[in-house]
Structure 1
Amino acid sequence: MKEDSEVVNAELLTTNKLSELACLALYLMYEKKQGKKSFWYPFIRELDRQRGRGQLAVESPLLWSESELAYLDGSHTKAEVLGREEGIKREYNELDTVWFMAGSLFQQYPFDIPTEAFPFEIFKQAFVAVQSCVVHLQKVTLARRFALVPLGPPLLAYKSNCKAMLTATDTSVQLVVDCPYKAGDPIVVWCGPQPNSRLLLNYGFVDEDNPYDRILIEASLNTEDPQYQEKRMVAQRNGKLSVQTFLVHVGREKEAILEMLPYLRLGCISNAADMHSVISSQGPTCLLSPCMERAVLDQLVNYFEARLVAYPTTLIEDEDMLADCNLDPKKRVAVQLVKLEKKMIHACLQATYDFIHELPDDTISPCPAPFMPQLKI
């Protein structure tokens, strides 16, 4: 792009009018209108052929139909997709403002203002095409962590656990491989520390051997608790929020439960002197009575069981579907995603049962705890 374009682009970003991806999507649409006259025509032609499809020839869920998004029922990823689409819609609604603010930037394009020249669906497709070409660079500063590689997705296969990676020099992005390749061999590249939900959203694939996969659990202090404000301050002093997100990493589900327990126990405490001790405690032991500890653990059991019930299929049914070689590609990646999520939730459930069995008497009934923190399904 020209130097003056970069200056205006930076101004748009600093005023929070458009994200970097939206700015690039806007340029992409205008350049595509120019057809073969555009300097970027060879890259745009490749982006059109690719259409945001990843290595499994699956488009980002941002381009799926409503019936196809139903494949993600029960998964928090579906809400993430819908939220991302709403964000793209908000940026689309800002395009005309940007066009008028930076009129000189678009003088080279003899077309109408953005929302008259391009319907929302076209903008979303351009956004997804740009998004699918963003790659993580290694051994660079945070400001240079991402780059656009238009030919990356169709020529590379991304993996989460390989050592080949894309790196940056002063003038270019280079692929550094970790083994010799023969002509025709597929090139596999590390895709960065991204969970499967992000890989599906950005690139249209799921990695079943992803060591960076995770699910999120949102807990919040009960606002109806008479001691809510006091507990909120105690939580903040211990690095937690009144609405706290916990990350459950694959293979580390037990550690995630241990991190959550002090926060959940805080809701059961009525003695202000014990609040700090409870939330700052480490390990499975605490100041709660056995029946109160059972109430906390039972809450987790009920939560994980409710999350599993929210999925329309079971793990066994997922495995049966994946064994079908004729399964629709979009449904295949969706089933892969929800299957891996369920495995993490099952592991969390098992870890919680293990803590119950470690109680002095695991048959004890839970104490009433009306103001326990709330877990979002």
Structure 2
Amino acid sequence: MRRQRRISSALAVTETARSEQLIQWLQDHGAPEQGVSIKEVVQEGNSLDVSVAARDLQAGDLALRIPDHLVITLDRVFEDESLAELLTTDKLSELACLTLYLMYEKKNGRQSVWYEFIKELDRIQGRGQMGAKSPLLWDEGQVDEYLAGSPLVAEIKERLKGIEKEYAELDTVWFMAGSLFKSYPYDVPTEAFSLKLFRQGFAAVQASVVHLQGVPLSKRFALVPLGPPLLSYSSTAKAMLTYNREAKEVQLAVDRSYTKGEPIEAWCGPQPNRRLLLNYGIVTDNNPHDKMALTVTLPHADPLFQAKRAVLQQHNLSTQQTFQLQRDKGLPDLLLPYLRLAHCRDADSLKLATLDTCCSAPISPENERTVLHQLAAHLQERLDRYKTTCEEDDEIISSSTAGPRQKVAARLLRIEKAILRGAVEETMRLIGSDRDESVQTKSSKVAVRLS
């Protein structure tokens, strides 16, 4: 996050009248004086609003204090906590309900109590602090082009399908939630809003929502004025947006000192960068939660399938098991023991397989060679799916002509490749340490699948 902390010196920063209106709106509605203001950051011709320290702050100071009545949550939307829980359990996600509420509020224009807040959300359009929107809003073809090779491509397409499915449920909610819609003399949702507009609103809400802890379910998803995406998210910050029951307000106590004008950071939770990009359009360096999934599936046709499953169940493992590869962490502890068991060809070798990492050892030179070569080939095949090299990613990131979407995509790809490359190097090291050249690796009769 060092790059973000130098933002005020590296970029041209100016105060905006729009931000003054938003803060004035908060004060007019009973909010206390805030420790943040909004600055317009101008970068390569593009402007972006960012929450910055309104004065010098020390660790522990409250930078943000938003009263409960100025925070949008589902219990406020539906005026009925049980109805909110029913709808979000059976029909729509919290994000979809909040999106629908704001879309109708927007139709009220200046008559809406949320006018200033909605105006700022419209201006931001779901862009994160790096200037990129969520990939849910990228132009056609950009996801496949910029993120080629990344498993995030499939996640984005799955999320888009989910949004489309929720859009189809909007009319049902319209008729159920009288407390929400009695104030809006408009058409039913699918006639009032197109799928495109709903997707845009959904992405904006997704980029802005705060996940509060220790509150009822109807309050756990909250839209907080001056919160994200105005507030910069960090994977390493310790400051969190929290709900203070006694004060009845959402607060942010900073975790370090800030000088006036410096962007304020809050912890984004234990989210890997692929989720940060999908949800907020950002990628943070040195994210300790970055990981790449590797799934091992044992075939049902394996003659030893039942015996292997029995052994796995004793260790609370399944015949389709997912392991997480992480940067600079080596191979997951159980990965090789699991693969050794998976590639056992007879009952005698299966007896030698152990899933206790403290005493796990190769079963036989042939088994070990099969395991390591399959793993190395799979990891290399995943690396080969990417259309760019790490060097090309670096060029995009430092380019003065590449757009924000290209740059955040390149940052993510560079991280994913580093994780996979580290796993490849560790596997090749283990292959190189096998000195028994008398054993020839045969193609395994056990079709263990890696994905």
Q: Same fold (TM over 0.5)?
A: yes
Please name the residue that 2:156 is paired with: 81
Would you identify which runs of 4 or more consecutive aligned residues in structure 1 move more than 6 Å? none
The one-letter amino acid of 1:247's match is Q
Could you tell me how far apart the structure 2 residues matched to 1:225 and 1:350 are? 30
The one-letter amino acid of 2:151's match is H
Shift of 1:261: 1.2
Structure 2: give runs of 5+ residues left out of the alignment.
Answer: 1-75
User: Against the structure 1 CA distance between its residues 75 and 111, is the aligned structure 2 distance closer, same or farther, given a 3 Å change threshold?
Assistant: same
- Out of 112, 128, 133, the position equivalent to 1:59 is 133
SS at match of 1:319: helix
User: Against the structure 1 CA distance between its residues 6 and 109, is the aligned structure 2 distance closer, same or farther, given a 3 Å change threshold?
Assistant: farther
User: Against the structure 1 CA distance between its residues 234 and 48, is the aligned structure 2 distance closer, same or farther, given a 3 Å change threshold?
Assistant: same
- Any conservation in 2 of the 1:238–1:279 contact (CA below 8 Å)? no
User: Against the structure 1 CA distance between its residues 285 and 194, is the aligned structure 2 distance closer, same or farther, given a 3 Å change threshold?
Assistant: same
Please name the residue that 2:113 is paired with: 39
Could you tell me how far apart the structure 2 residues matched to 1:362 and 1:175 are? 61
Could you tell me how far apart the structure 1 residues matched to 2:282 and 2:105 are? 28
- Any conservation in 2 of the 1:135–1:191 contact (CA below 8 Å)? no
1:216-247 deviation line (CA, Å, top 9, x unaligned): 11221123323334323432332222222111
- Out of 252, 258, 262, the position equivalent to 1:185 is 262
The one-letter amino acid of 1:89's match is E
Could you tell me how far apart the structure 1 residues matched to 2:327 and 2:216 are? 26
Percent identical residues: 46
What are the within-5 Å matches in structure 2 for residues 77-226 of structure 1?
Answer: 77-103=152-178, 105-137=180-212, 140=214, 147-170=222-245, 171-226=248-303
Comparing 196-205 and 264-273, the one that deviates more: 264-273
Could you tell me how far apart the structure 2 residues matched to 1:67 and 1:342 are? 22
What are the within-5 Å matches in structure 2 for residues 357-372 of structure 1?
Answer: 357-361=432-436, 364-372=439-447
Please name the residue that 2:314 is paired with: 237
Could you tell me how far apart the structure 2 residues matched to 1:2 and 1:145 are? 13
Q: Which has the higher helix share?
A: 1
- Any conservation in 1 of the 2:337–2:355 contact (CA below 8 Å)? yes
User: Against the structure 1 CA distance between its residues 141 and 301, is the aligned structure 2 distance closer, same or farther, given a 3 Å change threshold?
Assistant: farther
Could you tell me how far apart the structure 2 residues matched to 1:364 and 1:150 are? 66
Shift of 1:3: 6.3
- Any conservation in 1 of the 2:296–2:450 contact (CA below 8 Å)? yes
Shift of 1:153: 2.7
Could you tell me how far apart the structure 1 residues matched to 2:226 and 2:351 are? 54
The one-letter amino acid of 1:325's match is S
SS at match of 2:429: helix
Could you tell me how far apart the structure 1 residues matched to 2:438 and 2:403 are? 47
Comparing 275-284 and 108-117, the one that deviates more: 275-284
Could you tell me how far apart the structure 2 residues matched to 1:365 and 1:141 are? 60
The one-letter amino acid of 1:319's match is D
Could you tell me how far apart the structure 2 residues matched to 1:277 and 1:321 are? 50
Could you tell me how far apart the structure 2 residues matched to 1:295 and 1:112 are? 63
Could you tell me how far apart the structure 2 residues matched to 1:94 and 1:2 are? 17
The one-letter amino acid of 1:128's match is A
SS at match of 2:141: helix
- Any conservation in 1 of the 2:237–2:267 contact (CA below 8 Å)? yes
User: Against the structure 1 CA distance between its residues 270 and 331, is the aligned structure 2 distance closer, same or farther, given a 3 Å change threshold?
Assistant: same
User: Against the structure 1 CA distance between its residues 72 and 175, is the aligned structure 2 distance closer, same or farther, given a 3 Å change threshold?
Assistant: same
- Any conservation in 2 of the 1:321–1:327 contact (CA below 8 Å)? yes
- Give aligned pairs, total: 372
**RMSD, aligned α-carbons:** 2.3
- Any conservation in 2 of the 1:55–1:153 contact (CA below 8 Å)? no
- Any conservation in 2 of the 1:59–1:204 contact (CA below 8 Å)? yes
Shift of 1:291: 1.5
Could you tell me how far apart the structure 1 residues matched to 2:368 and 2:324 are? 22
SS at match of 2:285: coil
Comparing 174-183 and 332-341, the one that deviates more: 174-183
The one-letter amino acid of 1:230's match is A
- Any conservation in 2 of the 1:22–1:127 contact (CA below 8 Å)? yes
SS at match of 1:94: helix
Structure 1: give runs of 5+ residues left out of the alignment.
Answer: none
The one-letter amino acid of 1:48's match is D
Please name the residue that 1:23 is paired with: 97
Could you tell me how far apart the structure 1 residues matched to 2:78 and 2:179 are? 13
Could you tell me how far apart the structure 2 residues matched to 1:45 and 1:208 are? 31
1:320-341 deviation line (CA, Å, top 9, x unaligned): 2222122111000001000110
User: Against the structure 1 CA distance between its residues 75 and 3, is the aligned structure 2 distance closer, same or farther, given a 3 Å change threshold?
Assistant: closer
- Any conservation in 2 of the 1:234–1:276 contact (CA below 8 Å)? no
